[in-house]
Amino acid sequence: MITIAIAEDHKTMRAGLVGLLNRIPEFQVVINVSNGTELLNSISFQNLPDVFLIDSRMPEQNGAATILKIRELYGEKPKIIGLSMHKEARIIKEILQSGANGYVAKSDSPDSLYNAILEVSNSRLYVSSEILKLLKIKDRAHRDEKLNRKEESILLLICQEKTNQEIADQMKLSRNTINTYRTRMIEKLNVKNSIGLVLFAIREGIFKPG
């Protein structure tokens, strides 16, 4: 059973999500609130749901701020999917860079949401095919100017959620060397963290989730 928390300020949308997900035998909605503050007040280490569905735009505390706080308090254990009416690359990047494991537009099919929950539950990144197209840049000609071949190889393994030690073993390099590569790529691409590296890989067509 996958337990789910929903934070969504639109009452009708929230009720629809609860009804939809509770009809699926392997899912159970255990928390159902209207904003990020209520969500944070409803969870603890003792009752931490498996998956969080968090709207990007909510009163009191928006989606990105809520996700950042969950990551600060509970680390990487919670799996988080951003929800939004918007299909703008800026908003999608904001949600994913805050620490979400996936992003689903509210206009996407129920199958997309179902697949997203299963994917993030298995520690994989989920971005729908339509959102993936928005994240990709049209011109990939400059890609090789940013990362060399070895950096791209390491980036692919990062996207596959390999640890530094696992990457080091596969690349036959030391763990410290891999950590240095990771840090340099973050600096070179001007991103905040490993999620930013994954977003870059998706945009550039280096990595395709799912």
Which pLDDT tens digit goes with each residue over 25-47? 999 999 999 999 999 999 999 99
Length, in residues, of the chain:
210
Residues of the chain with CATH 3.40.50.2300: 2-135
Domain with CATH 1.10.10.10 in the chain: 143-203
Terminal Cα-to-Cα distance of the chain (whole angstroms): 22
pLDDT given for residue 140 in this prediction: 43
Q: How are strands ordered across the β-sheet holding 51-55?
A: 27-33, 2-7, 51-55, 79-84, 102-105, 126-127
Token readout for 153 is 């190889």
- The whole-angstrom separation of Cα 28 and Cα 64 is 24
Considering the domain delimited by 143-203, tell me its CATH architecture.
Orthogonal Bundle (1.10)
Those residues whose C-beta lies under 8 Å from the C-beta of residue 195, and which sit 6 or more positions away, are 96, 97, 99
Q: Quickly state the pLDDT bin for 89 (edges 50, 70, 90).
A: confident
CATH says 2-135 is which class? alpha beta
d(CA 16, CA 14): 5
Alpha-carbon separation of residue 43 from 38, 40, 132, 165 (angstroms): 9, 6, 31, 33
Average pLDDT, the chain: 85
Model pLDDT, residue 61: 82
